[in-house]
Amino acid sequence: MNRILLIGSAHPKRVRLKAEQILAGRESELTILCLRDPGTVRYFGEVEGAAVIPLEPERHSAILRALRHVRFDAIHLFWTGETRYRNLKLFALRLGLGRISVDAGDGCTFRLTWKALLRFWQFRLRHRLPSDHYDFFPRPGIASASDQDERMREPKGMTGEKILVVQSADPPQVLRALAHLEKHPVLTDPRYILFCRNRPEILAQFADHPMLSEVRTHNETRNSWSHFRGLRREHFDVVILFLTGDPSYWKIKCFALLFGARHRLVFNENNDCFFLTWKSWCSLLSHRLRERSRLPVQPRRRLQILAFTLVLVKMLALPFRFAWLLAVWLRLRLGAWRASA
């Protein structure tokens, strides 16, 4: 008989589905380690053939010694981007990396090693949550029952992809892009939220637009840090930005590229759209350079040298800029961890 430890570091419904799959196979002795929450413990207690161990903070050392003594044949852990279970995940690492099998959502599973840990951390930076996350969790801002038994059921309320449209071009270009998405949708059930400048002439063009469920505004660079933290915290499925060659929107373009969205959809000056990847980004830069080389009036030699020097400085400064962004990200994660602790 196989001895299997299942660590409930994800939504209880996801963990219970995994437990039922394990027990439906060959004969196994299943133990579920979960948070000390009466509703969660009761929910897992309904799984026939599974022993439930609540992780009590004052008994961490004793529980760790007891689990190590059992010598489980397999240990299953969930890493699906849910910050509530951070302490449980850290506790699981003390059981030994090579013995743990990680379920990252979307059917992705891997054996936890140091190499796999670094590779997964890099992946999670780009994809905050798995695409099947909202099959188990209600979306942010959707009312849900406070009772634990109600939370175990299917999430109710608004569904569909949550999309942020960043006004990084003139309003007519944004309206053309929305019309294009209405005729040729690239998403199944989108909900569009516009983030634009707080100017009357701009807001008037987007007023009562049928495709926009919400319009949010900003005053240029004022409160940019608050906007950045608030928008990142919402975990948008898609961010739409415009790379049309207009230099007046370069700050908001850089701002939009830092959001932790799963996908970034780009519209160019011809109203063509594509998902932003390294390959498409390099193709766009190559296209811009070819266009500049075809200009009838070439810049003077001094300006050419200045442009080349600027590109070189940016390339040399890239590692330091990345280190600064990493420090900011670690600071935000540490603050969120302290708030949830």
Q: Mind listing the pLDDT tens digit of every residue in the chain (341 residues)? A: 788 999 999 889 999 999 998 888 777 889 999 988 888 889 998 888 889 999 888 888 888 888 888 888 889 999 888 888 888 888 888 887 667 889 888 888 888 888 888 888 877 776 777 877 777 765 544 433 333 333 333 333 334 678 889 988 888 999 999 998 888 887 777 889 899 888 888 888 888 888 888 888 888 777 778 888 788 777 788 889 898 877 778 888 888 887 767 788 889 888 888 888 777 777 777 776 666 655 555 555 555 566 667 667 777 777 787 788 888 888 888 877 877 76
| Domain assignments of the chain as residue spans, ordered by start | 2-135, 161-294
Give the whole-angstrom CA distance, residue 213 versus residue 86.
33
**Adjacency order of strands within the sheet including 2-7:** 50-55, 28-35, 2-7, 74-78, 100-103, 109-111
How far CA 164 is from CA of 158, 221, 235, 275, in Å, comes to: 16, 18, 10, 14
The domain made up of 2-135 has a fold known as Rossmann fold (3.40.50)
Task: State the pLDDT at residue 144.
Answer: 38
Task: State the pLDDT at residue 301.
Answer: 57
Are 2-135 and 161-294 in the same CATH fold? Answer: yes
CATH architecture of residue range(s) 161-294 = 3-Layer(aba) Sandwich (3.40)
Task: State the pLDDT at residue 77.
Answer: 92
User: What SS3 string covers 97-145?
Assistant: HHHEEEECCCCCEEECCHHHHHHHHHHHHHCCCCCCHHHCCCCCCCCCC
Show the tokens assigned to 285. 């830069």
